């Protein structure tokens, strides 16, 4: 009797449209929370830099949320957002992203030297112009470092949503385990790793584009 191969390529070929649909669903559920989390984290981070007394309570709440098991949060949300919906998965991931991004924004803005701010003021920069043209560009490396961590974590955590009926590529893990058929599991693992790697690479390229002075300094 022939031993079952670890990967059955014929199964992948027959089921590729389903796999592609799960991949697209996974991408949406992983990246939308990151975008929403970043949009919310930027003003909260700015407020944390401006009013330091606000920063610690905000980070404390975010840390408590980040420490909650994702599966437990998914289950708690089911009565509110419904079973097997994207919202049930994306709401916790948005808060997890904020827990990483808010400190990254605060640390990035705090890394801007005072003399740089003072120089911008002396040149007549308004607060908004100083923020957009001076402070945020300098903070980009720190913010993007946090964004890379949040993105990779989000790509991974989406799979847990399969346990409540909506987990993108995580469905392949459940399906393979239930049937003791390893091809879906291997395909799911490979695609999650590739997706996380591609997302991380794109953020590295974005950082290089947004900080051209760092490339010039490195080549000097």
CATH topology of domain 9-214: MetI-like fold (1.10.3720)
Query: Within 10 A of 45 (CB to CB), how many other CB atoms are there?
Result: 27
Q: What confidence score (pLDDT) does residue 37 get? A: 95
| pLDDT > 70: percent of the chain | 95
Q: Using an 8 Å Cβ cutoff, are 198 and 175 in contact? A: no
Q: What confidence score (pLDDT) does residue 214 get? A: 64
**What DSSP assignment string belongs to 101-141?**
HHHHHHHHHHTS-HHHHHHHHHTT--HHHHIIIIIHHHHHH
Which of 108, 186, 192 minimizes the C-alpha distance to 153? 192
Please give the model's pTM, rounded to 2 decimal places. 0.88
What tokens were used for 156? 């991974």
Q: What confidence score (pLDDT) does residue 43 get? A: 93
Span 190-213, pLDDT tens digits: 999 999 999 999 999 998 888 776
Q: What confidence score (pLDDT) does residue 1 get? A: 43
Q: What confidence score (pLDDT) does residue 53 get? A: 87
Q: What is the mean pLDDT of residues 42-62?
A: 89
Q: What is the mean pLDDT of residues 151-161?
A: 93
In this structure, of 32-46, 65-79, 99-113, 151-165, the range with the lowest mean pLDDT score is 65-79
């Amino acid at each position: 009797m022939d031993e079952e191969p670890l990967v059955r390529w014929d199964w992948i070929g027959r089921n590729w449209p389903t796999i592609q649909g799960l991949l697209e669903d996974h991408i949406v559920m992983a990246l939308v929370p990151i975008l929403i989390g970043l949009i919310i984290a930027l003003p909260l981070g700015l407020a944390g830099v401006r009013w330091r007394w606000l920063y610690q309570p905000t980070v404390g709440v975010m840390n408590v949320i980040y420490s909650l098991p994702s599966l437990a949060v998914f289950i708690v949300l089911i009565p509110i957002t419904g079973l097997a919906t994207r919202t049930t998965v994306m709401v916790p991931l948005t808060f997890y992203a904020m827990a990483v991004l808010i400190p990254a924004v605060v640390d990035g803005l705090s890394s801007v030297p005072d003399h740089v701010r003072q120089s911008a003021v002396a040149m007549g920069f308004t607060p908004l112009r100083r923020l957009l043209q001076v402070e945020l560009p300098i903070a980009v490396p720190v913010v993007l470092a946090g964004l890379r961590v949040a993105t990779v974590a989000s790509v991974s955590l989406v799979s847990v949503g399969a346990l409540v009926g909506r987990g993108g590529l995580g469905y392949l893990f459940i399906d393979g385990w239930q049937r003791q058929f390893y091809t879906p599991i291997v395909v799911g693992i490979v695609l999650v790793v590739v997706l996380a790697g591609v997302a991380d690479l794109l953020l590295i390229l974005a950082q290089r584009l947004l900080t051209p002075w760092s490339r010039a300094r490195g080549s000097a």
